[in-house]
Structure 1
Amino acid sequence: MKDTSDQPPAPEIDTSVPHSARIWNYWMGGKDNFQADRDAGDAVAEAYPDIVLMAKESRQFLIRVVSFLAGEVGINQFLDVGTGLPTMQNTHEVAQRIAPDSRIVYVDNDPLVLAHARALLADTTPDGVTAYVDADYHNPDVILADARNVLNFNRPVAVMFMGVLGYVSDFEEMRSIVSRLIDPFPSGSYLVLWDGTDTGPAVVEGGEKLAEAGGVPYHLRSPEQLAQCFEGLEMVEPGLVPITTWRAESDDVTHIDAYGAVARKP
């Protein structure tokens, strides 16, 4: 595992080009964004207003999922792939609040995310471990080699892809990434995945506006395609559903074009 405290400063960041992590931060109400990000975010939101709700509800989904895994299931190891900019209630904060000895490995290869991770992704308990792998999820072997320094591969691990796989243009490559990152872990490990879906014309138009504004293209997929990522695993109830409805505390929820699920490795 890299000792990020001794790493050189992150490369200079071009604030004139829309950046996916900063756009998402803008939608979530954060302050780590610039005018180009806000312009791109507004262009998407004009076509698909629910994108702001999706951003905020995705964090609520993360909180419910990690609380379930750390609490009911007893998982205390998490591999969070495609971290994005730290905001509130990050994976390690939720997990270590419930299981103080939780070990979390965040993965991203973005210099902006790296800079924030160094400053903000710190342990919240004396017994916990929070670490960062500077790697691209297109290279699962690199991620796994580094993660071995923190995670015990003989014990269950929750592998998380939280709204990031749409940046993989090829569907089969996306499935391969998921498979290669869950395969090394033992029975009792879990896959957590959510992504935007092509389940409405407005969200599709929003995706087109993102690309037109200079953002990295996001490839929306169908719920049926996302379900293929869970083949061979045991789906946790209620299965693959809109993220707003996954173990929601209330039935009064808005269905949005983002589906997610949690599944156990038998």
Structure 2
Amino acid sequence: MNTPFECGAGLGLKPQHYDDALNCDARGLWFEIHPENYMVAGGPRLAWLEAIRERHALSLHGVSMSLAADRAPDAANLHRLRELARRVQPAWVSEHLAWSAWGGHYHPDLLPFPRNGAALSRIAANIACVQDTLGQRIAIENPSHYLSVEGHEWSEQAFLAELVRRTGCALLLDVNNVYVSARNMGFDAKEWLDAFPGEFVIEIHLAGHSVDTQTQPPLLIDSHDAPVDDAVWALYRHVIARFGARLTLIERDDHIPGFVELLAERARAQAILDDAEVTV
């Protein structure tokens, strides 16, 4: 990570919070954006982004690279990402271990795949393509799971560790995704986290979730529309105790409250990080 800023806990940057974000002086505060919202040649959004970048570190968290797809990342999309990265100089870039495009068709979701040898080779090649184009390594995020997929040859933790070995990428651990998946799929979230290769984690995501009662049994949905659940906070403390302090982001993408409320939730994560830095 190449940044002159001290980073601790961060927030997703929302347009309605630009002024508050620009003027906030909380220690260690940084902001994440979805680059797809800023891949333009100019305009007010980029002007605000460049102003905020003067005071706070930024990360780019992609949602459309479709790394697990059946072909290389879209060249035009990757070019736009590279141009944005050159313009705002993010401290780091991340993407999901999932696919959203297949056979030339786009699906507005982050979809699962069987973790087999063919998928491993394909995804490693796609990660290498992105990293070579950007000229920096990226971090790969574990997804949420809602149904069983047949054909797995690797555990998710081992699959991610092998991607790191083959490509030199880093990992982004989404603790809420683990909790949601554990509840939906019937495994123990703490045991899953204990098997995660924490030495490769550069960032952690925390978010709220919701319950879809129209399914039987009900599913937890990684909706990012609520405060972080107490059970997720408990898992986060467990992770930090095991791995040590890591850059942490509070995600909120719907039912977005005022900046002060988000900053208070962010302060809760920062306090846990501060305690870890003292005790580890």
- Fold shared, TM-score > 0.5 on shorter chain: no
TM-score (norm 1): 0.39
Greater RCO, CA 8 A, separation 6+: 1
Per the normalisation by structure 2, the TM-score is: 0.38
More strand by share: 2
